[in-house]
Amino acid sequence: MSQVDYIIVGGGYAGYFFAHQLISAGKSFLLFSDEKPGASEVSAGIINPVVLKRFTTFWLAPEQISFLEKTLVEIEKYTGRNYLIKENIRRIFHDEAERVLWLKKAETPELQPFLDKEISTVDNIENPFGAGSVRNSARLDVKAFFEDFKIYLAGNKHLRQEIFKHEELETNTYHDISFKNIVFCEGMGVQQNPYFKDIPVLPNKGHHLKVRLSDPLDHQFTIKKKHFLFPLLGDLYYYGGTYDRFETGNGINDSAVSQLKNGLAEFYTNDFEVAAVNYGWRPTVKDRRPILGRHREKPNFFVFNGLGARGILNGCYFSKELFEFIENGKPLMPEVDLKRFQ
């Protein structure tokens, strides 16, 4: 029988950022990942302090962004790379009213750190009303982050690439593993978890395209109009993602693909070719806050879910909150505590 402090179930942002907390604290653990591409691996990797529809800030934005930067420096120490791409988002204005609203919001104390008052024009795309730059926004190199982290976990015997079978779980043992605590980080897979299947996460299906632009843009920053466009390797670009909270079926949805193609054609007027289409399910919560907490009857069973559309910031910041709650009894913020639903 092997003994560990923790089992983590799920290999997305929630599971990996929680694993980082354990690595930093010198805890022993095993992470189970079924290796199905979850929401995290299809995500754009955008790190964004602003809600770009309404020009408001995101909850705890400054704290979350600085915590993420610090965490990525810590992770670099053992994976050898920093995955933060410090390229701002340029928000293309749909019309004059949006441009005026941006400038007004940029004067407010809340938005002043994030909305650049200088309006620019982005070359080689349609943007007659100009674009505003979101300061302190960035991207995560999603592919490299997961590839390297996986290699690190496997190399240090932390990774089990298999489905975790809830029906074979006992209070302190799973197969030949004895553990102190178990943390479920399963994204929408939580619906199959008998201990936490009732937490109110709702799937929101998101598609993105990988596109080949006939005339690649000569900059690295992220463009945002309806969706995000940014360069991957060579002439390949990421464009996405859509939001659909009603579609529950598996498979690529043609109307999401058309929505993306039309969205891109609105500002990129040269030819482009779709090289790939991917989709995933965001685990969202009505009150737009993550869900963290302890099982009512199993005090060493925990859940970390509901990261919504901000998996990177929420996953990073709240992994620490959950760790402190479990290890040091630090109370969870009521806004994210599972107890708010009980």
Smallest CA-to-CA distance from 36 within 13, 14, 10, 17 is with: 10
∠ at Cα 186 (180, 188), nearest 5°? 150
Nearer residue to ligand FAD within complex by CB, 205 or 294: 205
Site track for ligand FAD across 32-71, x = CB under 6 A: xxx-x-xxx-xxxxx-------------------------
Q: Which is nearer to ligand FAD, 183 or 185 (CB)?
A: 185
Nearer to ligand FAD, 130 or 189 (CB): 189
Element at 315 (helix H, strand E) = helix 311-328
Angle (nearest 5°) at CA 248 between 243 and 254 = 60
Distance separating alpha carbons of residues 179 and 171, to the nearest angstrom: 9
**Contact string (CB under 6 A) for ligand FAD, positions 117-156, x = contact:** ----------------------------------------
Question: Toward ligand FAD, which CB reaches closer, 97 or 341?
Answer: 341
Q: Give the CB-nearest residue to ligand FAD.
A: 12
Vertex 183, ends 178 and 185: CA angle to 5°?
Answer: 135
Min separation Cβ 200 and ligand FAD, Å: 14
Q: Are 332 and 302 in contact (CB under 8 A)?
A: no
| Residues 310/316, Cβ–Cβ less than 8 Å | no
Give the nearer residue to ligand FAD in terms of CB position, either 133 or 314: 314
- C-alpha–C-alpha distance, residues 158 and 23, integer Å: 10
* 15 interacts with ligand FAD by CB under 6 A: yes
* Closer residue to ligand FAD in complex, CB, 246/329: 246
Helix (H) or strand (E) run with residue 23 in it: helix 13-25
Rounded Cα distance, 305 and 195, in Å: 13
The minimum distance between CB 162 and ligand FAD, in angstroms, equals 7
- Count residues binding ligand FAD (CB under 6 A): 41
Shortest reach from residue 303's CB to ligand FAD, in Å: 10
Among 130, 132, 189, 231, indicate the residue that binds ligand FAD (CB under 6 A).
189
**Residue 193 DSSP one-character state:** -
Residues 222 and 267: beta-carbon distance below 8 Å? no
> DSSP string of 25-86?
HT--EEEE------HHHHS--EE-SEETTTTEEPTTHHHHHHHHHHHHHHHHHHHS---EE-
Examine residue 12 and tell whether it contacts ligand FAD (CB under 6 A).
yes
Is residue 290 part of the contact set for ligand FAD (CB under 6 A)? Answer: no
Give the nearer residue to ligand FAD in terms of CB position, either 129 or 179. Answer: 179
- How large is the greatest C-alpha to C-alpha distance in the chain, in angstroms? 66
Looking only at residues 159 through 178 of this chain, which bind ligand FAD when binding is defined by CB under 6 A?
163-164
> Closest Cα partner for 166 from 180, 139, 184?
184
Residues 194-253 that bind ligand FAD (CB under 6 A): 206, 208, 240-241
Q: Of 291-320, which residues contact ligand FAD (CB under 6 A)? A: 305, 307-313, 315
Q: Which residues bind ligand FAD (CB under 6 A)?
A: 9-15, 32-34, 36, 38-40, 42-46, 163-164, 185-187, 189, 206, 208, 240-241, 280, 282-283, 305, 307-313, 315
